[in-house]
Structure 1
Amino acid sequence: MPVDALDTRILRLLLEQPRTSVREYARILGIARGTLQARLDRMEREGVITAGGPALSPAALGHPVLAFVHIEVTQGHLDAVGNALAEVPEIIEAHSIAGGGDLLTRVVARDNGHLEDVIQQLISMQGVVRTRTEVALRERVPRRLLPLVTAIGRAASAPGRGGESAQPSPPSG
């Protein structure tokens, strides 16, 4: 079931004020706490809300170097390599991809020497043919979902969609 206008208002509030209580969210939204909780539970079940933990900074944890490593894998070894990647703590994300390579990983490191060590570890994995590394210099757009949720909320509230007409004001900044 797609999210509706109320769902998007809830999601915006979660993104804008992540440390607020459910009771306070319900008060701000002008809905019953039970309604809010039911909506949150449904969105978790459906995979719309996927995490409730804090967002951590690898740089603040002593790993300021960020690289994207493309990995080409021998046919038939994708699952095995994916499982091996899960054992490398510096790999904070890995995706199967179409296009140049088979896997795209997001890797963090303490410094360039440490990054080289991680890449050498990847190259030595059974089934890895080659890697290509791109080092990030500066984050230009941080991971964000609020603009997407706002756009979805506008679409859900559009005439003929059956959504609510009142939307919270757009975030400043």
Structure 2
Amino acid sequence: MAVDELDTRILRLMIDQPRTSVREYARLLGIARGTLQARIDRLERAGVITGTGPVLSPAALGHPVLAFVHIEVTQGRLDEVGDALAEVPEIVEAFSITGGGDLLTRVVARDNGHLEDVIQRLISLPGVVRTRTEMALRERVPHRMLPLVESVGRAVRAGR
């Protein structure tokens, strides 16, 4: 879905000030509340806006260790392993991938020993052939969407 300049301004404001009311967003943008709500509804229907909940910190929840675990899966068992991964609370994301492995998971843990326990649990899942783990040392670019939103908005304005 293409976003126009107003959509870009709305999304930027929602990212920068997530706890602000729709009425205040409309005031800040200089548009009618109904116009704003219609735009937000359209962005939600199109899947551009996928949630409004808080962003949580695993570290603040006592899980400061972050690792990326590549999982190689027996052919034909990808869905089964994917379903089993959803039952492991320390896995905060999992993706099917190309390249070295079949799945890439983002795993959080209390400490290195806990991470080893999680990896051992993964290795024991039916259909898992092997794992490869990479530890994150420091976050260099936090999860963000605003630069992408602004880039899409610029492209729309330029007619690309």
Q: Note whether the superposition's TM-score is higher than 0.5.
A: yes
Q: Percent identity?
A: 82
State how far apart, in whole Å, the 2-side matches of 1:66 and 1:106 are: 7
Residue 92 of structure 1, CA deviation? 0.2
**Aligned residue number for residue 41 of structure 2:** 41
Give the AA of the match of 2:62.
G
The equivalent of 1:154 in structure 2 is: 154
Structure 2 segments unaligned to the other structure (5+ residues): none
Query: What secondary structure is seen at the aligned counterpart in 2 of 1:119?
Result: helix
The yes-or-no answer on 1:137 pairing with 2:137 is yes
In the other structure, the counterpart of 2:122 is 122
- In structure 2, what is the equivalent of residue 166 of structure 1? none
SS in 1 for 2:152: helix
User: Which residue matches 1:167?
Assistant: none
State the partner residue of 2:70: 70
**1:157 Cα offset (Å):** 1.9
Asked if 1 retains the 8 angstrom alpha-carbon contact of 2:66 and 2:135, the reply is: yes
Per-residue CA deviation, residues 126-161 of structure 1 (Å, 9 max, x unaligned), is: 000000000000001100111111111222222x47
Q: Which residue in 2 is equivalent to 1:17?
A: 17
1:4 CA displacement: 1.3
- The 4+ residue runs of structure 1 with deviation greater than 3 A are none
Offset at residue 61 of structure 1 (A): 0.3
| Aligned residue identity for 2:128 | V
CA-to-partner distance for each residue in 1:22-78, whole Å, 9 max, x for gaps? 001011111110111011111111110011100000000000000000000000000
User: What is the letter of the counterpart of residue 130 of structure 1?
Assistant: R
- The alignment of Structure 1 onto Structure 2 pairs a total of residues equal to 160
Distance 1:51 1:134 in 2: 29
Q: Distance in 1 between matches of 2:15 and 2:26?
A: 15
For 1:150 and 1:3, locate their aligned partners in 2 and report how far apart those are by CA, in whole Å. 10
In the other structure, the counterpart of 1:79 is 79
Q: How far apart, in 2, do the equivalents of 1:16 and 1:31 lie?
A: 18
* Aligned partner of residue 63 in structure 1, secondary structure: coil
CA distance in 1, matches of 2:125, 2:54: 32
Q: TM-score, with normalisation over the residues of structure 1?
A: 0.90
| CA distance, structure 1, for counterparts of residue 70 and residue 94 of structure 2 | 10
Match of 1:30 in 2: 30
Q: Please, what is the CA RMSD of the aligned residues?
A: 0.9
Q: Which residue does the alignment assign to 1:4?
A: 4
Which amino acid is the alignment partner of residue 110 of structure 1?
R
